[in-house]
């Protein structure tokens, strides 16, 4: 799980500069790592909260929604064009198209409900004191258990 999580996380970080849905892939990488490490679970919570807040800000206004729709359609169309015409760059075109589709998907009602839930959760968690188990010493502690339920 560590190797897969690090590989997916690394691909997501690379996609921040390269074409592709970088933040989405980073979240997937952190989700894989969160199955084994407490620090990854905390990072996943922070990342999804920040992504939900950013998406809510964009989709919360008419101008933001319009800009999102126009840019997503342009990315899907441009990605399809690159994939069809530039054989050597087919993967780049497909990545751009996927990124556009992910952007467009943020406008779906079910995604909007999830975003609203994430942003309301982050607002309440910021007013509560830190959880007693969120200590730096736990950063590298695996969260998996043995057969009898004890932590290794």
User: Which tens digits make up the pLDDT trace of 16-57?
Assistant: 887 667 788 888 999 999 998 999 999 998 888 888 888 888
Residue 126: predicted pLDDT: 53
Residue 151: predicted pLDDT: 52
Over the chain (152 residues), the average pLDDT of each successive run of 10 is 88 80 84 91 89 82 88 92 88 86 85 80 55 46 51 53
If DSSP codes are grouped into helix, strand and coil, which group holds residue 134? coil
Helices (H), the chain: 2-17, 22-34, 38-59, 62-85, 90-105, 109-127
Mean pLDDT of the chain: 79
Residue 133: predicted pLDDT: 47
> CA 123, CA 118: separation in Å to the nearest integer?
9
Whole-prediction pTM value? 0.56
């Amino acid at each position: 799980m560590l190797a897969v999580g690090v590989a997916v996380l690394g691909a997501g970080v690379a996609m921040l500069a390269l074409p592709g849905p970088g933040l989405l892939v980073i979240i997937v990488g952190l989700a894989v790592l969160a199955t084994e490490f407490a620090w990854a679970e905390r990072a996943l919570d922070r990342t999804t909260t920040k992504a939900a807040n950013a998406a809510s800000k964009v989709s919360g206004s008419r101008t933001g929604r319009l800009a999102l729709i126009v840019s997503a359609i342009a990315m899907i169309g441009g990605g399809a064009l690159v994939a069809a015409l530039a054989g050597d760059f087919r993967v780049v075109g497909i990545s751009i198209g996927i990124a556009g589709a992910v952007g467009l998907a943020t406008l779906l009602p079910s995604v909007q409900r999830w975003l609203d839930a994430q942003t309301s959760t982050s607002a309440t968690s910021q007013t509560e004191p830190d959880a007693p188990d969120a200590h730096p010493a736990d950063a590298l502690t695996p969260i998996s258990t043995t057969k009898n339920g004890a932590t290794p």
